[in-house]
A and B are shown apart, each in its own frame.
Chain A
Amino acid sequence: EAEVAQSPRYKITEKSQAVAFWCDPISGHATLYWYRQILGQGPELLVQFQDESVVDDSQLPKDRFSAERLKGVDSTLKIQPAELGDSAMYLCASSSPVLAGGHYEQYFGPGTRLTVT
Chain B
Amino acid sequence: GENVEQHPSTLSVQEGDSAVIKCTYSDSASNYFPWYKQELGKGPQLIIDIRSNVGEKKDQRIAVTLNKTAKHFSLHITETQPEDSAVYFCAASEDNYGQNFVFGPGTRLSVLP
Chain A interface residues (CB < 8 Å from chain B): 4, 6, 31, 33, 40-45, 48, 50, 55-56, 91, 93, 95, 97, 103-111, 113
CB pair B43 A45 closer than 8 Å? no
B95 at the interface (CB under 8 A from A): yes
Partner of B44, one of A6, A91, A103: A91
**Shortest distance between the CB of A38 and any CB in chain B (Å):** 10
Task: List chain A residues, Cβ under 8 A from B99.
Answer: 56, 104
CB pair A42 B42 closer than 8 Å? no
Which residue in chain A gives the minimum CB-CB distance to B90? Answer: A42
Report the interface size class on chain B: 20 to 34
Which residue in chain A gives the minimum CB-CB distance to B94? Answer: A104
B89 at the interface (CB under 8 A from A): yes
**Shortest distance between the CB of B89 and any CB in chain A (Å):** 5
Bound CA span A111–B39, Å: 12
Contacting residues of chain B (1-48) with chain A, CB-CB under 8 angstroms: 4, 6, 32, 34, 36, 41-46
CB pair A103 B32 closer than 8 Å? yes
Given known A-B contacts A40-B106, A42-B89, A103-B32, A108 and B100 have beta carbons under 8 A apart: no
Partner of B101, one of A97, A106, A110: A106
30 contacts between A and B (CB under 8 A): A33-B100, A41-B106, A42-B4, A42-B6, A42-B91, A42-B103, A42-B106, A43-B44, A43-B101, A45-B101, A48-B100, A50-B98, A56-B99, A91-B44, A93-B43, A97-B98, A103-B32, A103-B51, A104-B32, A104-B95, A104-B99, A105-B46, A105-B49, A106-B34, A106-B101, A108-B43, A109-B43, A110-B41, A110-B42, A111-B43
